[in-house]
Homo-oligomer: A and B are copies of this chain.
Amino acid sequence: MSVTAALGFVASGVHAHIRKEKRDLAIVRSVPLATGAAMWTQNRVLAAPVVVSKRHLETAEPQAIVINSGIANAATGAQGETDAIATADRAAGLLGLAPEQVLVLSTGVIGAPMPMDRVLAGVDAAAAALSPHGGDEAADAILTTDTHAKTAVSHGGGFTVGGMAKGSGMIHPNLATMLAVVTTDYPLEPGEALEFLRPAVDVSFNSITVDGECSTNDAVILLSSRAAAIQRTPATDEAFVLALRTVCSELSHQIVVDGEGATLVAEINVSGAVNAAEARAIAQRIATSPLVKTALFGHDPNWGRVLMAAGSAPFNGGYAQLDPALVSLSYNGTAVLVGGAPQDVEPNVDGAVCTIDLDLGLGDGRAGYLTSDLSYDYVRINAEYRS
Given A303-B111, A374-B379, A387-B300, also A312-B342 (CB < 8 A):
no
Residues of B within 8 Å of A129, CB to CB, are none
Interchain CA distance A337-B384 in the complex, whole Å:
22
Given A43-B308, A75-B307, also A300-B341 (CB < 8 A):
no
Given A291-B170, A295-B382, A379-B297, also A317-B316 (CB < 8 A):
yes
| B308 lies within 8 A of A216 (CB) | yes
Of the candidates B109, B213, B215, B379, which one forms a contact with A375 in the assembled complex, judged by CB atoms under 8 Å apart?
B379
Residues of B within 8 Å of A72, CB to CB, are 304
Q: Which of A22-81 contact B (CB under 8 A)?
A: 42-46, 72, 74-77
A9 to chain B, nearest CB (A): 32
Binds B, one of A89-97, A148-156, A319-327: A319-327
Interchain CA distance A322-B384 in the complex, whole Å:
28
Interchain CA distance A80-B144 in the complex, whole Å:
49
Residues of B within 8 Å of A314, CB to CB, are 314
Of the candidates B44, B46, B341, which one forms a contact with A77 in the assembled complex, judged by CB atoms under 8 Å apart?
B341
A258 at the interface (CB under 8 A from B): no
A105 to chain B, nearest CB (A): 16
A211 at the interface (CB under 8 A from B): yes
Residues of B within 8 Å of A311, CB to CB, are 43-45, 216
A365 at the interface (CB under 8 A from B): no
| B213 lies within 8 A of A309 (CB) | yes
Given A307-B110, A337-B75, A379-B374, also A298-B384 (CB < 8 A):
yes
A196 at the interface (CB under 8 A from B): no
Chain copies in the assembly? 2
Interchain CA distance A74-B304 in the complex, whole Å:
8
Interchain CA distance A307-B74 in the complex, whole Å:
10
Residues of B within 8 Å of A310, CB to CB, are 44-45
| B76 lies within 8 A of A295 (CB) | no
Main SS class of interface, A: loop
Q: Which of A127-175 contact B (CB under 8 A)?
A: 169-170, 174
Of the candidates B77, B307, B342, B385, which one forms a contact with A216 in the assembled complex, judged by CB atoms under 8 Å apart?
B307
Interchain CA distance A305-B45 in the complex, whole Å:
11
Of the candidates B298, B308, B309, B387, which one forms a contact with A382 in the assembled complex, judged by CB atoms under 8 Å apart?
B298
A290 at the interface (CB under 8 A from B): yes
A294 at the interface (CB under 8 A from B): yes
A288: nearest chain-B partner, CB-CB: B212
Given A44-B311, A312-B42, also A378-B321 (CB < 8 A):
no
A314: nearest chain-B partner, CB-CB: B314
A386 at the interface (CB under 8 A from B): yes
A318: nearest chain-B partner, CB-CB: B42
Interchain CA distance A321-B302 in the complex, whole Å:
37
A190 at the interface (CB under 8 A from B): no
Of the candidates B45, B291, B295, B382, which one forms a contact with A291 in the assembled complex, judged by CB atoms under 8 Å apart?
B382
Residues of B within 8 Å of A337, CB to CB, are 75, 111
Residues of B within 8 Å of A387, CB to CB, are 298, 300
- Listed from nearest, the 7 A-B pairs whose CB atoms lie closest are A110-B304, A298-B383, A45-B311, A294-B382, A44-B311, A44-B322, A214-B312
18 contacts between A and B (CB under 8 A): A43-B319, A44-B324, A77-B341, A109-B304, A110-B308, A111-B337, A213-B291, A213-B308, A214-B308, A214-B312, A290-B290, A290-B382, A294-B381, A297-B379, A297-B383, A298-B383, A375-B383, A376-B376
